[in-house]
A and B are shown apart, each in its own frame.
Chain A
């Protein structure tokens, strides 16, 4: 744990450079460049909105909010989380040459990859805010908890990325497992519907263990419902436990396998 923090601290300047390079790298060779970061999610959101408004739900409100807004506020953090789920997991493989060709603090690789994606996410959230304002929503005090959710989300999935990118380096099987699980997670994390609306209590409780649900709900608490993060203290405690487990696992795995990474990549 200490070692990982030290690596990050001594490498913070390079981290910024690498994150910038990672952003630039994704858009090289495409004429539309950065715009794709907005085009892709917009298409996805439109399709889901269409299917659920005209097809499945008949355009009903969710928790007293228009479905389109309910969807946008929940799915934008999901885009960021899913990119950290899969992109974070393949971070070390993608930047293999940093491990095998030079002396490099490996634990910082998932970090700068996730920082690079964070920039896109914040840009998208700015657009979401504008959409909300146009629909007559006002800024209120609850927006103060937005940075908290972003930071918690970043830390949780950064721990996940460190853990998963190390084991993915050992075997591609894990990558396939993660990719197929991500699709499942999309449907069980209450992104297209509200977990609160499920009538079977035990299903609701099980789904709430999932940290993705915690964050999706958190974003809605902040921008739609006007609820504080501590109001649902049960969910908060469950998340805290999951978070600690995640961090401990990733630190242990990194510590145990770091020196063998270069031999298997």
Chain B
């Protein structure tokens, strides 16, 4: 198992702890160079892109943190490290609890299966028992507003339908850490409002830790009390959300 599941370095009320996490991507000129790079390592010429640069922070249970930053600031890489998809090049990331990620809501469905079958598949992968899924199933279908489409193959869905289903599944499987990546812009105004209400609900009720990535300072302020501002892969501000919003505005100028 990788280091992200170890809990001996992390105290009980912490859910995320980054210690000097750096992620570098090796960019090769083409596929041929990449293949050679895999075989012969660093001798093959390539560019190195530092997506996360020496990040250290810790997030406590029940906190809600907004990650602010311009395109390319390293927000997505950071979230992917938290979800355990991407591994740090150096440093260590400790995660404590079940992470449910709303990264690219439309991805991760099997197009050949119906919406309902995908609910089961996804929930099984998250380690839920059949009973638990059955209990959540009706709620998911209702929340996603798919009606009879729930028994049609997902490949026939529009992107909005997929996103709604993705959101519904992820908020319904009792996550402990919920990662939300621009997901609040799904569907029409009414659905967006519904998502907001549901998010605040589970934050209050289940003490879910919410990590929100957004460009919208408005939704960051309404959900989060802490903000982390990123620029070129480094943290330039970490603190109260209002101050973070100011720092973010300033960094854009």
Contact = CB atoms under 8 A, between A and B. Distances in A.
B35 A173 contact: yes
A168 B63 CA distance: 41
Contacts of A102: 83, 85, 101, 108, 125
A196 interface: no
B124 A13 contact: yes
Contacts of B80: 262
B187 interface: no
Interface string B79-114: 010011111000000000001010110011010110
Interface in A241-265: 257, 259, 262-264
Interface residues of B, number: 31
Nearest to B118: A21
A24 B2 CA distance: 31
Interface residues of A, number: 29
A263 B85 CA distance: 10
Given A6-B1, A170-B35, A101 B124 contact: no
Contact of B87 (A29, A173, A259): A259
B31 interface: yes
Contacts of B85: 99-103, 262
Given A25-B113, A97-B108, A17 B121 contact: yes
Given A21-B113, A262-B85, A7 B1 contact: yes
Interface in A114-171: 170-171
Contacts of A257: 38
A3 B3 CA distance: 12
Question: Which secondary structure characterizes the binding site on chain A?
Answer: helix
Interface string B21-35: 000011000010011
A28 to B, nearest CB: 4
Interface in B31-64: 31, 34-35, 38
Interface string B111-141: 0110001001100110100000000000000
A34 interface: no
6 contacts: A14-B127, A29-B112, A99-B85, A100-B107, A101-B104, A170-B35
Interface of A: 3, 6-7, 13-14, 17-18, 21, 24-25, 28-29, 97-104, 170-173, 257, 259, 262-264
Given A14-B124, A100-B85, 9 more contacts: A17-B124, A17-B125, A18-B125, A24-B113, A25-B113, A29-B153, A102-B101, A170-B34, A264-B34
